[in-house]
Amino acid sequence: MIINWMKKELEALNHASLERRLRTHVPIPESPGYMMHGGRVLLDLSSNDYLGLAQHPAIIEAMRDALLIEGAGAGASRLVTGNRRPYGQLEKALAEWQNCDAALVFANGYIANVGVISALAGRGDVVFSDQFNHASIVDGIILSRAEHARYRHNDIEHLRALLHKFRDKRRKLIVTDAIFSMDGDQARLLDLIELKREYNALLMVDEAHSGGVYGLHGEGLALALGLKNDVDIHMGTLSKSFGVYGAYVCGNETLIRWLMNKARPLIYSTALPPSLIAGTTQALELIQTEHWRRERLFTASEFFRSSLCMAGFNVGNGDSPIVPLIIGNNHKALQFSSALETEGIAAIAIRPPTVPDGTARIRFSLSAAHSLEELTDAVTKIRRIGLRLGVLESCDQS
Ligand SMILES: Cc1ncc(COP(=O)(O)O)c(C=O)c1O
């Protein structure tokens, strides 16, 4: 019976400490940075609410106002009758923020990557993708049926060799996360731009973890580095620093027209509820004006990363609000996460296949909602757990 093989494989996953289960977390609106789980209040060190906007009253009010005008759902895809007024307002604001000709909203980041990559590449083409890119980029490449040229993480010489090998392919697309989601380190955008020019490729940058976070007005890593004109496709999510839901793609007029005609998830799926879009426009306003959120976020991130590093943990090479505590063993990573929960901290264990075998970790993500006092207390607890579980001794400090 079909169920038997599933049961067997699930048992194997469970045995290897690799089974995933859903957990319910309850937000505490008056205390951003905390959540409830199992009747207990936990410091939230796992959400991607970088700027602490997910509970912002102005965003909720904008959503409520639009809900009363536009109703619950959009009723159809945008190309049919789902393209309500809030969409145009948000896309205009996104294009101005990104200093691009035009923007297009997608249902979420996963869908945006799948839709954009499969619209830009097909049989006979090649997509070059960093080994640590997000799963949605990988799935977009698979769906596109283009050749998948996977280069070692941030290894520019390996990418160069692959570009050379596939130099005669029809179209070439290089895709990278700007900030890698499980390691928190940056892509080598300057080197990628040099190579894309040399080999006449397009460059797509996924700013899921950098949009709202980097740049004076949160415009993302590429713009913050002055590389706007060298990146052909700017993609980002509206679910992390924006605190809402959805995704955007920004670029020139032709690109956006192309995607409107060719990105199948946009064409063949109902538009997001307009109230959500209205809330996102309000979030963008806050992202651009409330600079103190980014300052607090980076103060918190730097403090947390350096405290864990000084304690002797392996926290990788990043400098973003994503701080991995690399443990290695899957079972130990689960034990660590559950010990953190006992100490009042929600921080989830990330295991293969999300990260390579032997690199299971706790992925901490910081927020403007966290204070240094809370983080100091968290570091003390993390250190105690690290010593108890023998993680500190086994850390690679190189
Ligand atoms: C780099 C990257 N791209 C895309 C996504 C997908 O975004 P969303 O959660 O909006 O679907 C994520 C989500 O974790 C991500 O980390």
Ligand 1 pocket, residue 98 CB under 6 Å: no
Beta carbon of 237 within 6 Å of any ligand 1 atom: yes
Q: Is 280 in the pocket of ligand 1 (CB under 6 A)?
A: no
What distance in Å separates the CA atoms of residue 246 and residue 235, rounded to the nearest whole number?
11
The token pair that represents 377 in the structure block: 């207390």
**Rounded mean pLDDT of the chain?**
96
pLDDT at 394 over 60: no
For CATH 3.40.640.10, the residue range(s) in the chain are 57-289
Question: What separation in Å is there between the alpha carbon of 6 and the centre of ligand 1?
Answer: 27
More confident residue, 207 or 393: 207
How many Å lie between the centroid of ligand 1 and the Cα of residue 388?
Answer: 34
Confidence at residue 145, expressed as pLDDT on a 0 to 100 scale: 98
Checking if the pLDDT of 398 tops 60, the result is no
Cβ 136 under 6 angstroms from ligand 1: yes
The distance from CA 208 to its chain's CA centroid, rounded to whole angstroms, is 4
Q: Is 371 helix (H, G, I), strand (E, B) or coil?
A: coil
Q: How far is the CA of 12 from the centre of ligand 1 (A)?
A: 28
Residue nearest to atom 9 of ligand 1 (CA): 109
Q: What is the pLDDT of residue 159?
A: 98
Separation of CA 235 and ligand 1 centre (Å): 10
Q: Is residue 239 within 6 Å of ligand 1 at its C-beta?
A: yes
Whole-number pLDDT of residue 336:
98
Helix, strand or coil, per DSSP, at residue 172: strand
Confidence of residue 163 (pLDDT cuts 50, 70, 90): very high
- Is the CB–ligand 1 distance for residue 241 below 6 Å? no
Given the CA of residue 246, which atom of ligand 1 is nearest to it?
Answer: 10
Task: Report the distance separating Cα 236 and Cα 259, nearest Å.
Answer: 15
Segment 307-334, tens digit of pLDDT: 999 999 999 999 999 999 999 999 999 9
Is the preceding omega at residue 353 within 30 degrees of 0, hence cis? yes
pLDDT digits (tens, 9 = 90+) for 258-281: 999 999 999 999 999 999 999 999
Q: Whose CA is nearest to atom 4 of ligand 1?
A: 109
> Rounded distance, CA 6 to CA 10, Å?
6
Burial class (CB in 10 A: 0-12, 13-18, 19+), 93: middle
Q: How far apart are CA 78 and CA 260, in angstroms?
A: 9
Per-residue pLDDT tens for 34-79?
999 999 999 999 999 999 999 999 999 999 999 999 999 999 999 9
Angle at 310 between CA 309 and CA 312, to 5 degrees: 70
- Residue 84's pLDDT band (cuts 50, 70, 90): very high
Tell me the longest C-alpha to C-alpha distance in the chain. Answer: 60
CA–CA dist 105, 76 (Å, integer): 15
Give the whole-angstrom CA distance, residue 100 versus residue 149.
29
Q: For domain 16-51+291-388, which architecture applies?
A: Alpha-Beta Complex (3.90)
The set of catalytic residues is 181, 209, 240
CATH class belonging to 57-289: alpha beta
Residue intervals of the chain classified under CATH 3.90.1150.10 are 16-51+291-388
The pTM of the full predicted model, rounded to 2 decimals, is 0.96
Pairwise CA distance, residues 104 & 78, whole Å? 11
235-258 mean pLDDT: 98
pLDDT confidence of residue 392: 84
**Residue 117: CB within 6 Å of ligand 1?**
no
The whole-number pLDDT of residue 3 equals 85
Ligand 1 neighbour 177 (Cβ under 6 A): yes
Query: Average pLDDT in the 159-173 region?
Result: 97
Ligand 1 mean position to 138 CA, how many Å?
12
Residues 6+ apart with CB under 8 A from 111: 136, 247, 265, 269
Distance CA 139, CA 57 (A): 36
pLDDT above 90: percentage of residues in the chain: 96
Give pLDDT tens digits for 374-391. 999 999 999 999 999 999
Distance, CA 309 to ligand 1 centroid (Å)? 27
Assess whether the C-beta atom of 206 lies below 6 angstroms from ligand 1.
Answer: yes
pLDDT digits 0-9 by tens, 119-147:
999 999 999 999 999 999 999 999 999 99
Which residue owns the Cα nearest ligand 1 atom 8? 109
pLDDT-derived band at 393 (thresholds 50, 70, 90) equals low
SS3 content of the chain, % helix, strand, coil (to 5): 45, 15, 40
- Of the pLDDT bands very low, low, confident and very high (cuts 50, 70, 90), residue 301 is very high
Q: Ligand 1: which of 49, 108, 110, 179 to mutate, most ligand atoms within 8 Å of CB?
A: 110
How does pLDDT run across 145-162, given as a tens digit for each residue? 999 999 999 999 999 999
Give pLDDT, residue 299: 97
pLDDT at 397 over 90: no
Cross-strand bridge partners of residue 27: 35
